């Protein structure tokens, strides 16, 4: 995987010392640092309630409905509307909701 200068900067800033920067340097830890910064963006800047996350995968958040999105599905600075449009809406039963129907696929409740 290739990283941008901005992503590498995010990793460096996530580390406490030059020793840590070198010792912890791996593709996985760079991705973790980028995703942690995205998590902070959703929580602190957009004020969302984080329902769940896997730091190498994606995040669920509450904004009326529960939404689920991969960390690669949005960037810091994206508007809440853009992020919600790109995210899946999660139903009461944990399924992805078809936006054209807005009914839980399992229990058939309206979302």
| Whether 67 contacts 61, CB under 8 Å | yes
Q: Which of 92, 96, 101, 102 touches Zn ion by CB under 5 A?
A: 92
d(CA 18, CA 20): 5
d(CA 28, CA 33): 9
Closer residue to Zn ion in complex, CB, 33/97: 97
Tell me how far, at minimum, the Cβ of 91 lies from Zn ion, in Å. 5
Does the protein bind Zn ion through residue 51 (CB under 5 A)? no
Number of residues that bind Zn ion (CB under 5 A): 6
Tell me how far, at minimum, the Cβ of 48 lies from Zn ion, in Å. 22
Q: Which of 25, 46, 86, 93 touches Zn ion by CB under 5 A?
A: 93
d(CA 50, CA 44): 10
Q: What is the 8-class DSSP label of residue 63?
A: E
Residues forming the site for Zn ion (CB under 5 A): 91-93, 104, 106-107
């Amino acid at each position: 995987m290739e990283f941008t200068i901005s992503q590498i900067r995010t990793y460096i800033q996530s580390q406490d010392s030059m020793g840590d920067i070198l010792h912890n340097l791996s593709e996985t830890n760079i991705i973790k640092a980028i995703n942690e910064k995205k998590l902070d963006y959703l929580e602190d800047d957009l004020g969302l309630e984080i329902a769940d996350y896997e730091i190498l995968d994606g995040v669920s958040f509450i904004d009326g409905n529960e939404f689920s999105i991969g960390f690669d599905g949005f960037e810091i600075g994206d508007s809440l509307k853009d992020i919600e449009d790109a995210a899946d809406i999660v139903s009461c039963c944990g399924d992805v909701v078809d936006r054209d129907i807005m009914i839980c696929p399992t229990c058939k409740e309206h979302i």
